[in-house]
A and B are shown apart, each in its own frame.
Chain A
């Protein structure tokens, strides 16, 4: 098997070069504390949540999983909705390799969708590994969804039109959340948006090898993230599908999925495989593999031509899903 990696898109390569000092590459466990303080994650969390006044923003503490602390939900709802009645809800799970991030990280994407579509965004903050290994993160995410579905009327949301969405670790948690709600017969999201999702703790696909040492979130960083979440179980036979959805035997009965991933990133092959398995299970899925994309390119270099296409694809899919 050739180890020559696909090239980065020219614009993305240039952005990556400019960003490289701020982004994790070959991240190890020792780097986690530094990364949490680093400029990269702050950068991703710093922007105008109101989107020039379009949204009213609220931080809300809601009950966590049984016996666990409360969790914080960031709720952004249109200040002046274009139409009356409950609005669709985008339930957002942030990224950060399971080890960093807040409910503000990466929420600019969902906010942009929600502004286009007239939806509410609820972004959940979950406990991070390694201090809080699996199942703490996914259980927090599930608890947040339960509250969101049960209290949607409090913020003008429609509990029948919840779309769950996340990027990177948030994408993995979103996929796990879809499995959990199916199996626990919890709230039924109408769609799942899995953006460059982190799905497979085995970290052993051709793309994971091919992209080692390159781009954002390489094989080493990925191993760090999964080890933080799973400890010694990582890569072994006893990993829960609610931690690593690629492990799930049965992918039937899940909500329609939008998946995307860059061709030049660690997660390429596991995402493509997951989409294939959704189809094989009789599911509905749309998969985009963005040529030359590194992990999270559309958030890190949103002006690049391929990023603009990617972000437009998200909105188009949501528009179709919501029948807007």
Chain B
């Protein structure tokens, strides 16, 4: 077909070749051809390798133009012609045609038709997509189970792709809300494994997220700093790609803060930059599930049951990130410090402490209440808080006066702010 495709192109103007391409994929689709056949069709008709990478479904198919299946771990080049599987989605199908300024008409038709056919097949077969070992619940359960025999845990760890024989090997347990436990291997590239607090941060699965880290942390710098950090960070695509827990929290913050100044970020559509970031090698590294996730500390393989305990505790500190439930959807156990002790004091579903009851009462008064109080508790200054929720400084002052009256304690003093922070935190812990 390579010769054929060449002949077709030579015999026909572009339009004629395009029609044949369309017929080719239509016929494949009609006869319910599989993914590899479709990717092969793209490779054969284009005369260059084609690859399909669907991160969410863990599908990776690469075919040479002679029809040979030959997968590759290398990242796609940004200048290859590509197509998304869904409109406005991230690139998922590439033609490995380097140095092409503009995809030819035929390439464009190949990509468009193949992507359309692939989408149909993936939708049809997604339930049968092969599980990667990292998704095997039995293996994950074993490696997290302190009561399982050490040999069994080591065996499971190896199956999961962890290397217990490497003394520097570290992994984290991950507890998604309502989802199955996961284990993430911690990339050690260029950074020491755990040590002090700096080391802990360095050991995060998602590196290169320092912008996000600053962004989301209470000890933030100025608001301007944060906004700059957001503006060039590749946008919410990070979250969609699933490698950055911090990206998720950032995104959530946009959601609850009503940050009208950055509607493009709230849109959540990954841009070009996002797709490039994604291929810096992080995607395969640390795919945090979406939604609320607790992340345990990075530990040697046999310490994973402890990491799992930490992850479950961290999960209790997470929030939806909505106006009703402001806070961070992704919480690292490493970051909790002494706050983690609160988890032992407050049982889920138990009668909430008085400060939490006050908070609920205040929340019932105004829709802005919780988001406003969260902003005050989690930013360095009232000015930063006002900017974060996009209200004028004086408006914030008026709101806080009202809030303090409802709560019965100040929130603008250091002690009051701590009390507020604890109340917000305990509110998370107290819910069922």
Q: What are 10 of the A-B contact pairs (CB < 8 Å)?
A: A10-B31, A14-B33, A18-B4, A18-B8, A43-B3, A47-B3, A301-B1, A302-B66, A303-B43, A304-B40
Minimum Cβ distance to chain B for residue A296 (Å): 13
Whole-angstrom CA separation of A43 from B43 in the bound complex: 20
Interface string of A279-323 (1 = CB under 8 A from B): 000000000000000000000111111011000000000000000
- Find the residue from A15, A301, A303, A304 having the highest chain B CB count within 10 A: A303
Which residues of chain B (24-44) have a CB below 8 Å from chain A? 24-25, 27-28, 30-34, 36-37, 40-41, 43-44
Is A29 part of the binding interface, using a Cβ–Cβ cutoff of 8 Å? no
Closest 3 CB pairs between A and B? A303-B67, A10-B33, A10-B31
- B408 to chain A minimum Cβ distance, whole angstroms, is 71
Q: Which of B3, B37, B44 contacts A46 (CB 8 A)?
A: B3
Whether B4 pairs with A17 at a CB distance below 8 angstroms is no
At the interface, yes or no: B65 with Cβ under 8 Å from chain A?
yes
B258 to chain A, nearest CB (A): 51
Look across to chain B and name the residue whose beta carbon is closest to the beta carbon of A303: B67
Shortest distance from the beta carbon of B109 to any chain A beta carbon, whole Å:
13
Contacts of B31 in A (CB 8 A): 7-8, 10, 13-14
Q: Smallest Cβ distance from B288 to chain A, in angstroms? A: 36
The total number of A-B Cβ pairs within 8 Å is: 71
Given A47-B3, A304-B67, A305-B67; A11-B40 close (CB under 8 Å): yes
Closest Cβ neighbor of B33 among chain A residues: A10
Chain B binding surface, main DSSP class: helix
Of all chain B residues, which has the CB nearest A108? B3
Question: Which single residue of chain A is at the shortest CB-CB distance from B8?
Answer: A18
**Is residue B393 within 8 Å, beta carbon to beta carbon, of the partner chain?**
no
Flag whether A53 is at the interface (Cβ < 8 A).
no
B1-15 interface bits toward A, Cβ cutoff 8 Å, 1 = contact, 0 = none: 111100110010000
User: What are the interface flags for A167-202 relative to B under an 8 Å C-beta threshold, 1 for contact and 0 otherwise?
Assistant: 000000000000000000000000000000000000
Cα A16 to Cα B1 in complex, Å, equals 10
A303 and B65 form a contact (CB under 8 A): yes
Residues of B within 8 A of A17 (CB): 23-24, 27
Verify if A231 is at the interface (C-beta below 8 Å from B).
no
Q: Nearest chain-A residue to B40 (Cβ)?
A: A303
Q: Tell me whether A43 and B36 are in contact in the complex, defined as CB-CB below 8 angstroms, given that A10-B31, A305-B67, A308-B68 are known contacts.
A: no
Q: Determine whether the beta carbon of B3 is less than 8 Å from that of A303.
A: no
* A11, A19, A300: the one within 8 Å of B37 (CB): A11
B68 lies within 8 A of A14 (CB): no
Q: Which residues of B contact A47 (CB under 8 A)?
A: 3
A39 contacts B by Cβ under 8 Å: yes
Tell whether B20 is near chain A: CB-to-CB under 8 Å.
yes
Check B4–A11 contact: CB distance below 8 A: no
How distant is the Cα of A47 from the Cα of B41 in the complex, in angstroms?
21
Whether A302 and B8, one on each chain, are in contact in the complex, defined by CB atoms closer than 8 angstroms, is: no
Is A39 in contact with B7, judged by CB distance below 8 angstroms?
yes
* Cβ-closest chain A residue relative to B37: A11
Q: What CA separation (Å) do A17 and B34 show in the bound complex? A: 18
Residue among A47, A305, A308 with the highest chain B CB neighbour number at 10 A: A305
Q: Once the chains bind, are B40 and A39 in contact (CB under 8 Å)?
A: no
Partner of B33, one of A11, A19, A300, A302: A11
A15-B3 contact, Cβ under 8 Å, with A305-B36, A308-B67: no
Closest residue on chain A to residue B25 by CB atoms: A14
| Contact string against B for A residues 55-76, beta-carbon threshold 8 Å, 1 for contact and 0 otherwise | 0000000000000000000000
Known A-B contacts A11-B28, A11-B41, A305-B37; the reply to A43 vs B23 at CB < 8 A is: no
Cα-based distance from A236 to B158 in the complex (angstroms): 71
Given A13-B31, A14-B28, A18-B20, do A303 and B2 touch, yes or no (CB 8 Å)? yes
Q: How far is the CB of A226 from chain B (nearest CB, A)?
A: 28
Candidates B2, B20, B27, B67; contact of A13 at CB < 8 Å: B27
Least CB distance from B24 to A in Å reads: 5
Please encode chain B, from 281 to 299, with 1 for each CB lying within 8 Å of some chain A CB and 0 for all others: 0000000000000000000
Give CA–CA (A305, B66) in the complex, Å. 10
Chain B contacts for A300, CB-based, 8 A: 4
> Which chain A residue lies CB-closest to B32?
A10
20 new A-B contacts, CB < 8 A, other than A7-B31, A300-B4, A301-B1, are A10-B31, A10-B33, A10-B34, A14-B25, A14-B27, A14-B28, A14-B33, A15-B1, A17-B23, A17-B27, A18-B4, A19-B4, A39-B7, A303-B43, A303-B67, A304-B67, A305-B40, A305-B67, A307-B67, A308-B67
- On whether A18 and B23 interact (CB within 8 A), knowing A10-B28, A10-B37, A11-B40, the answer reads yes
* Residues of chain A lying within 8 A (CB to CB) of residue B2: 303
**Bound complex: CA of A307 vs CA of B30, how far in Å?**
20
